[in-house]
Amino acid sequence: MLTVVLSGLRDRWASFLGGFVALALGVGLLATMGLGLSATSHAPERSPRRFASSPVVVQGQDRLTLDVRRGPRTVPVELRLDRPQPVDGRVVRELRARWTVTASGGPDAVGVDAPAAEVRALVGDRARVLTGSERTRADPDPERDARALVTLGALLGTSGGVTAFVSVFVVASTFAFAVALRRREFGLLRTAGATPGQIRRLLLAEAAVLGVLASATGCALGALGAPLLARALVDGGLAPAWFTIGEASWPFHTAFWTGVTVALAGAVAASRRAGKVGPTAALREADVDADVLPLGRAVLGTGLLLAGLGLLVWTCAAEPSALLKRKTYTTLPMLLITGVALLSPLLVRPVARLLRSRGAVGTLVRENSAAAVRRTAAVAAPVLVTVALAGTLFGSATSVTRAKEAESREQTAAQYVAHGEDLKPVAAPHGAVVSPTGATSVFVRDGAEAVVKYGARTVADPAAFAELARLPVVAGDLRDLDDRSIVVNEEFERHRVGEAVEVWRADGSGPVRLRVAAVLALGTGDNGPYVTPANAPGSAPDRIDARGGGTATVRALEASGGTVSSAHRPSKGSPQNRLGMILVLGIALVYTVIGLANTLLMATSVRGGELASLRLAGATRGQILRVVTGEAALAVAIGTGLGLAVTGVVLGALGAGLAALSAPVVLALPWTVIGAAAGTCATVAVVSAALPAWRLTR
């Protein structure tokens, strides 16, 4: 068996080349992403900056501990505070009485030159005692490295998921089409006495050998590509400057065995189909495809399509805000894409026959595409994947960004805005209204089982804020906000005007009972809650809205130390997010190019007899080339149309979700990105079909 397998791989290397390259590249990318993910598991140890010369740091409590119910038991839950609490004055005095104490940059921590054990014994549970690398927790924004790693891990995880999805798709399609082209070969083997089981084992053995060789090559590529990826992520601003690839081994093991599994999984369905070829049926079979959609494929495709549509509908109805998240609009369309791709042979023939073109060339393009359903569907499917990913990724991201921009424009009557950290107070010029706000957080119980941390805004002047804000108020009045009340959104468990909400402040102080002054619609996620400075300790203005006063107002805002701009200036979006989407789409496009080139090179290379018959019938070489390239272009057009259909469904669900959130519905179809993807696919398809056709018609 091994001799037959190796001989077959050697003789038909061209038909296996595309699958080998796709699988090796997929394993290489998985190894690269795995190495990147392993590097995001922990941030590097940093030397403390704020208290570098102090061996011990005493810090105010930076955790809020609350009891929640877990079934019949009550358990404590810790939540991180935005700002540590000040160190108790009595503790500081006791420390100063015995040792040298250093204060630096605020009351939340002090450095102590003393043995750590003695300091812990004195402080007890009144504050936290930090030593060694833990002292970095007293530095400004100690969580920035962890946040950067979480964001980077999400990007690499998404890219790895897309890599696995597209590689499985391309490899499975390649094997299935290669088996379809070998029907006559299998018929001869059956005539010579081969059993269906032997045919299946032959194909699986070929897949195993191919998988092992491609996976080993991919692991080598991953080892070379991971440092290049890390450098590109740092240069693109997607990773912090210190990000480097570690020496973990599990990504190589995972990528290698994933590659072998993908190769075998892609060959299983094809081997079953090959085993059903009768001893003489394949020799009698015409080039017209029949039974191109087996029952198993039809059931699986229908199930995935219905599952994708059902999840979209359920998410839109139950949790519409999830549709605005990148994780959702990156992963959920994959179900729809796979379902439509599996069912694509049903659509190829009727869609191909819609082509209306006069002349022999147009007639042959239409009839050949409709007759050779497997070939047309094998070309259309990878195009569908790329166009759908381009449309859903960029379309959803752009739509969400524009919806946020429109919502932001609708929610303020200001003319000017100043942005910056720790803005200085501004006196309102004559005839002007000025409203400073800042970031804070509040902790609120959600039933007896959970405590939720909400990002909130601090309103320094509720009257000015109410005059300038145009928030989507569904109940109450913003002018009623004061030190004993809060503005909430509909996500809060208690969101009726006049109800009391138990709140812990950003520094953990509380609980305080605040009356609901107004209730806001959810919108795109930035609507509330709002509190006054009395319930936002440590919050400093980072935005100042203003209207009226002319140039005097602009000069006053400039004096605040922030960046002044028009309140309605459109946002350019995050370049890091766009770079991340380009990375994901680039992976899909590379695979599509490989799949298209391999499929069309194989398909056209075995059409020598058909093309020779056309020459004998009087067709010129130019006409034959136009027929072959026309078929390739038509298949790309079909795949593009199916991809646009999937994009339309996903964007339609996103629009319904925005409407359910009372947010502006601003849908954007990224024609430039889709056009570039479809144009690349069309170019590769035409060239890959024309080259072997030119050679065969010489």
Identify the band that residue 682 occupies on the pLDDT scale cut at 50, 70 and 90.
very high
> Token pair 């799949």 is at which residue?
595
- The pLDDT value recorded for residue 291 is 54
**pLDDT digits over 229-245, tens only?**
888 888 877 777 788 88
**pLDDT digits over 459-518, tens only?**
999 999 999 988 889 999 999 999 999 999 988 888 889 999 999 998 888 789 999 999
C-alpha–C-alpha distance, residues 682 and 115, integer Å: 72
Identify the band that residue 216 occupies on the pLDDT scale cut at 50, 70 and 90.
very high
pTM of the model: 0.77
Instruction: Tokens for 698, please give them.
Output: 């010489």
- Does residue 50 carry a pLDDT above 80? yes
Q: Check if the beta carbon of residue 595 is closer than 8 Å to that of residue 602.
A: no
- Name 421's bridge partners: none
| C-alpha pair distances (Å), 6 with each of 12, 21, 275, 412 | 10, 18, 20, 71
- Give the mean model confidence (pLDDT) for residues 41-45: 72
- The pLDDT value recorded for residue 329 is 80
Identify the band that residue 309 occupies on the pLDDT scale cut at 50, 70 and 90.
very high
> Token pair 């806001």 is at which residue?
520
- Give the mean model confidence (pLDDT) for residues 63-71: 79
| C-alpha pair distances (Å), 198 with each of 45, 283, 477 | 58, 19, 77
Buried b (16+ CB within 10 A) or exposed e, 631-668: bbbbbbbbbbbbbbbbbebbbebbbbbbebbbbbebbb
- Number of other CB atoms surrounding residue 510 within 10 Å: 17
**pLDDT digits over 158-201, tens only?**
777 777 777 777 777 776 676 666 766 777 676 777 777 777 78
**pLDDT digits over 515-571, tens only?**
999 999 887 777 779 999 999 988 889 999 999 988 899 898 988 888 888 877 665
Q: Which helix (H) or strand (E) holds 502?
A: strand 500-504
The single-letter DSSP state of residue 512 is E
DSSP, collapsed to helix, strand or coil, labels residue 80 as: strand
- The pLDDT value recorded for residue 289 is 54
Amino acid, res. 685? A
Q: State the helix-helix crossing angle for 621-660 and 359-371, rounded to 10 degrees.
A: 60
Amino acid, res. 577? N
Helix residue spans in 461-550 (DSSP H): 462-468
Identify the band that residue 285 occupies on the pLDDT scale cut at 50, 70 and 90.
very low
C-alpha–C-alpha distance, residues 516 and 487, integer Å: 6
**pLDDT digits over 346-405, tens only?**
888 888 877 777 778 888 888 888 777 878 888 888 899 889 988 998 898 888 888 888
- Give the mean model confidence (pLDDT) for residues 328-351: 85
* Cis before 529 (ω within 30): yes
List phi, psi (to 5°) of 141: 50, 65
Q: Check if the beta carbon of residue 561 is closer than 8 Å to that of residue 424.
A: yes
601 or 117, higher pLDDT: 117
- Give the mean model confidence (pLDDT) for residues 243-254: 86
**pLDDT digits over 480-489, tens only?**
999 999 999 9
C-alpha–C-alpha distance, residues 630 and 364, integer Å: 9
Q: Check if the beta carbon of residue 101 is closer than 8 Å to that of residue 54.
A: no
- Give the mean model confidence (pLDDT) for residues 281-309: 71
293 or 546, higher pLDDT: 546
Chain-centroid distance, C-alpha 182? 39
Instruction: Tokens for 99, please give them.
Output: 């040792």
Sequence-distant (6+) residues with CB within 8 A of 356 are: 362
- Give the mean model confidence (pLDDT) for residues 584-610: 79
Q: Check if the beta carbon of residue 286 is closer than 8 Å to that of residue 183.
A: no
Instruction: Tokens for 316, please give them.
Output: 């839109």
Average pLDDT, the chain: 83
Q: Check if the beta carbon of residue 85 is closer than 8 Å to that of residue 538.
A: no
Q: Check if the beta carbon of residue 419 is closer than 8 Å to that of residue 543.
A: yes
Instruction: Tokens for 218, please give them.
Output: 């991919």
